[in-house]
Structure 1
Amino acid sequence: MNTQNQPDPQVALITGAGTGIGFEICRLLASRRVYVMLNDLDPLLTEKATQTINASHPGFCKGCPGDAGDTGFISQMVRETVKAFGSLDLVVANAGITLFGEFLSYKEADFHKVMQLNLAGSFFLAQQASRQMIAQKRGGSLLFMSSVTGHQAHKNLAAYGMSKAALEMLAKTLVLELSPFKINVNAVAPGATITERTAQEASYSETWSRITPMGRPARPQDIAEAVAFLLSPQARHITGQSLVIDGGWTATSPSPYT
């Protein structure tokens, strides 16, 4: 029981957070005294990320490894979060997969893999989390991880771009059903971002520094700060919106392939 008339601590669930943007969101929230359930498909990566955050913010992070595109696991993950921390207030559906391929030869199996994680995983995580938030009767915040590829055409990413555009429409549509319960729902659309994965790509930083108006690709911290704001009480009247974070790239949209 809160005996000092202080707000109850908030609890967040972040998927796909072993590295990159998801990890930085977890780290930033924990630094602001939000309890975090960190999910990643890789158990070892989940454990390592959790230990790293707890080294600086002891007790604020727990791990829940598993497939964020599996609806059965999603239900389990929500239950484990509530069991560990007592509630669920903030959710970031960050887990996603990018499978490049030409449209004319794109494999059906790859299409379904992208849609299962990027769309079904996000949809049913939001559904399960919303049910928990409604039961708690104190509102909450949902956030979907879109992409600039949901706004501008990008070569060999038809399926991925389609999935990201759909998430922004989902955020808008859920306003109708979740606003009566004081649950706001938004999306962010990162542009090129330097992560452990993209740092391995030859000339990635050089190319995107050249074609991004602000002169560099994003860092995970750039995305995490925006996400933290949209999850905060200060942003509770912002809902159904999509925020592009790309250093101005979509304003000019030069191709990285030229």
Structure 2
Amino acid sequence: MDFRNKTAIVTGAGQGIGFEICRQLAKHGATVLLNDIDKDLSQKAADKIRTEYGNCISVPGDCGDISFVNKLVQQSVAETGHLDIVIANAGITLFGDFLSYPADSLYRVLHLNIAGTFFLAQAASRQIRQQGTGGALLFTSSVTGHQAHKDLAAYSMTKAALEMLAKNLVVEISQYGITVNTVAPGATLTERTESDPNYASVWSQITPMGRPATVGDIADAVLFLVSDKARHITGQSLVIDGGWTATSPSPF
């Protein structure tokens, strides 16, 4: 896929799925603004991609902060003159039993996962509308937005909300040539999940395809959905889980 002359924002991209999305976009010619709340992680990730492919700019900051989100969009335009693709990948997972789940944890999850994505999509859509060139938005959901998962009531609620947000935005922004979709990854091998020595073996046993996803599996789907090849696909959610939601055995 060809992303030359495209400018993309990817949030929550210091490592894992977000990093691989940035890497693949840069590989295929895009100028990428890589965001992560961890300044050092963001810079190291951007440096690595720039050394390998070029065209990657570190923009550290908190995507739950509306003023930062607006500045992120403004910087993309300052760098290249336009914004074409926005991938709202930043999110937080706070496990906890529903009956004792604390209010501060709930508000943190809602603030970043829902409000952060909402206002990034809003700022990006305004910019793309002004350009008159069309573009693509993509939100990172989760299989937990489709299937119940122990101790993830708050998180799964936000992920289901993102899928409804994408669907609703179809009636709001399609007229400006903007597509909006979500991907819902299942178990995926990342730096965080691989810190659990049992993660890969457990999920390999309960995933019909016999293994958890790699970050490349998710990035491949994302790149398709934000490419010109998917210009007539909008309001959709693509589950990428090796068939787990079809059977849904618990890992516990």
TM-score interval, normalised by the smaller of the two chains: over 0.9
Residue 205 of structure 2 is aligned to residue 210 of structure 1: yes
DSSP 3-state at the match of 1:128: helix
- State the distance in 1 between where 2:134 and 2:197 align: 44
The aligned residue for residue 224 of structure 2 is 229
The aligned residue for residue 215 of structure 2 is 220
**Equivalences for residues 165-184 of structure 1 within 5 A:** 165-184=160-179
The aligned residue for residue 124 of structure 1 is 119
| Matching residue's letter, 1:111 | L
Q: Of 52, 59, 72, which aligns to 2:67?
A: 72
DSSP 3-state at the match of 1:234: helix
The aligned residue for residue 80 of structure 2 is 85
Residue 30 of structure 2 is aligned to residue 34 of structure 1: yes
- State the distance in 2 between where 1:36 and 1:91 align: 10
1:3-54 C-alpha deviation (Å, 9 max, x unpaired): xxxx970100000000000000000000000110000001100110000001
**Equivalences for residues 159-170 of structure 1 within 5 A:** 159-170=154-165
- State the distance in 1 between where 2:98 and 2:232 align: 40
The aligned residue for residue 106 of structure 1 is 101
DSSP 3-state at the match of 1:141: strand
Question: Aligned-pair distance for 1:202?
Answer: 3.1
1:43-85 C-alpha deviation (Å, 9 max, x unpaired): 1001100000011112x10010000111010001111111112
| Matching residue's letter, 1:123 | F
1:197-238 C-alpha deviation (Å, 9 max, x unpaired): 000013000100000000000000000000000000010100
Question: Aligned-pair distance for 1:177?
Answer: 0.7
Q: Of 176, 189, 201, which aligns to 1:194?
A: 189
- State the distance in 2 between where 1:186 and 1:81 align: 21
Residue 143 of structure 2 is aligned to residue 148 of structure 1: yes
Question: Aligned-pair distance for 1:107?
Answer: 0.4
The aligned residue for residue 239 of structure 1 is 234
Q: Of 37, 43, 46, which aligns to 2:39?
A: 43
The aligned residue for residue 10 of structure 1 is 6
The aligned residue for residue 4 of structure 1 is none
Alignment length (residue pairs): 251
DSSP 3-state at the match of 1:170: helix
- State the distance in 2 between where 1:28 and 1:175 align: 26
| Matching residue's letter, 2:28 | R
DSSP 3-state at the match of 1:100: coil
1:94-132 C-alpha deviation (Å, 9 max, x unpaired): 000000000000000000000000000000000000000
The aligned residue for residue 17 of structure 2 is 21
* C-alpha contact (below 8 Å) 2:10/2:34 kept by paired residues: yes
| Matching residue's letter, 1:241 | Q
Q: CA RMSD in A?
A: 1.1
- State the distance in 2 between where 1:85 and 1:245 align: 32
Q: Displaced runs of 4+ in structure 1, greater than 6 A?
A: none
* C-alpha contact (below 8 Å) 2:4/2:28 kept by paired residues: no
Identity %: 61
Query: What stretches of structure 1 of length at least 5 have no aligned partner?
Result: 1-6
| Matching residue's letter, 2:43 | E
DSSP 3-state at the match of 2:223: helix
DSSP 3-state at the match of 1:92: strand
